[in-house]
Structure 1
Amino acid sequence: MSILKIARMGHPVLLRRADPVEDPTDPEIRRLIADMAETMQDAGGIGLAAPQVHVPLRLFVWREPEGGVGCLANPELAPLGEAEESAWEGCLSIPGLRGCVSRPARIRFRGLDAEGAPVEGEAEGMLARVMQHEADHLDGVLYPMRMRDHSLFGFTEELARTAGSTGR
């Protein structure tokens, strides 16, 4: 496995719609998934989309709560209900910055797993947020594009320093 270079905001690969994964069981795709998982863990992330490692394919990985890694190829996500939640997000492609983003609280997802088998389910909380954040990367969307209030956007260390005084 290898640690891959992470594309940073401004790179064109992050602004285009990614292509479908033809065969998740292809050895090259399996190697990509393993390398993405290792890269995500090395960088301290909780999710990583293929475009973030300069590969314009519809694929992302995330860190499971119990320590494993989930993978979804060609994902389709849909909100469940009207409820939204706002929370602070960061991104390995936008290092050192955080912003408050509103997203649907619950989603339905489907796609293919790393074995090429169809998967579907529902997610809420952090998993729903991570899946939506990573799926946005597959459509060329970065989290600042989703922000409604850019006064809630800044450098992580400044936000941590001022959080107590601003009530945010």
Structure 2
Amino acid sequence: MPVRTIIRYPDPLLRARCLPVAHFDAPLHQLADDLLDTMRAAPGVGITAAHVGELQRLFVIELTPGDVRVYVNPDITWLSEETADHVEGSVSMPGSTETVRRPATVRFRYQDLRGEIHEEEAEGFFATCIQHEIDQLDGIFWLQRLSRLKRERLVKKWEKTKI
């Protein structure tokens, strides 16, 4: 599977809302495989189709080696009131990280690569990753979850050191 080029911040595609996947076919499976290889090469723990310029509601995560999860057309259905802080970053902004506060637990619905519908609950870092990647599919780059001061400081640093 080829490793695809990851678009870099501040590319406007990172702010675009992804379209629902309608065809659960060989090209979708190939894109999921490419995303996994691209994420591992980056390296990262999650990547969306938007990160490689494909505006489709698809992402892949691998929080522990070998535990690959593919989510198609995901949507959050419930967020806890309890929050948690986790350090986040992006394959589109390598080397830049900051602490983000998000709901500690989420429920979400998604389809697998066959189009079958599933519902799951996630907590902790898993919940953070799900929210982070679904935000990206909705055109919300993770920097938008930071305070203005933290965001400006991080962007300034990124502009000086970007790869």
Say yes or no: TM over 0.5: yes
Distance apart, 1:118 and its partner CA: 1.0
Q: Which residue of 2 aligns with 1:22?
A: 22
Is the CA contact 1:90–1:97 (under 8 Å) kept in the aligned structure 2?
Answer: yes
Is the CA contact 1:103–1:129 (under 8 Å) kept in the aligned structure 2?
Answer: yes
Q: What does 1:143-162 correspond to in 2, within 5 Å?
A: 143-148=142-147, 150-151=149-150, 154=154
Distance 1:124 1:56, change over 3 A: same
Further displaced range: 141-150 or 85-94: 141-150
Is the CA contact 2:77–2:109 (under 8 Å) kept in the aligned structure 1?
Answer: no
Q: Which amino acid aligns with 2:15?
A: L
Distance apart, 1:149 and its partner CA: 6.2
Q: Which residue of 2 aligns with 1:163?
A: none
| Greater C-alpha Rg | 1
Q: What does 1:4-83 correspond to in 2, within 5 Å?
A: 4-24=4-24, 26-65=25-64, 67-83=66-82
Is 1:135 matched up with 2:142? Answer: no
Distance apart, 1:129 and its partner CA: 0.6
Task: Compute the RMSD of aligned alpha carbons.
Answer: 1.8
Q: After TM superposition, what 4+ stretches of structure 1 lie above 3 angstroms from structure 2?
A: 149-156
Distance apart, 1:114 and its partner CA: 1.7
Q: Which residue of 1 aligns with 2:86?
A: 87
**Unpaired segments of 5 or more residues in structure 1?**
157-168
Q: Secondary structure at the match of 1:2?
A: coil
Q: Secondary structure at the match of 2:7?
A: coil
What percentage of residue pairs aligned between the two structures are identical? 36
Distance apart, 1:126 and its partner CA: 1.1
Distance 1:105 1:93, change over 3 A: same
**1 CA distance for matches of 2:53 and 2:62?**
20
Distance apart, 1:18 and its partner CA: 0.6
Per-residue CA distance 1:10-46 (angstroms, 9 max, x = gap): 212111111110023x111110000001111111100
Q: Secondary structure at the match of 2:21?
A: coil
Q: Which amino acid aligns with 2:116?
A: A
Distance apart, 1:6 and its partner CA: 0.4
Is the CA contact 1:88–1:99 (under 8 Å) kept in the aligned structure 2?
Answer: yes
Is the CA contact 2:74–2:111 (under 8 Å) kept in the aligned structure 1?
Answer: yes
**Unpaired segments of 5 or more residues in structure 2?**
159-163
Distance 1:79 1:97, change over 3 A: same
Distance apart, 1:145 and its partner CA: 0.4
Q: Which amino acid aligns with 1:7?
A: I
Q: Which residue of 1 aligns with 2:161?
A: none
Further displaced range: 70-79 or 54-63: 70-79
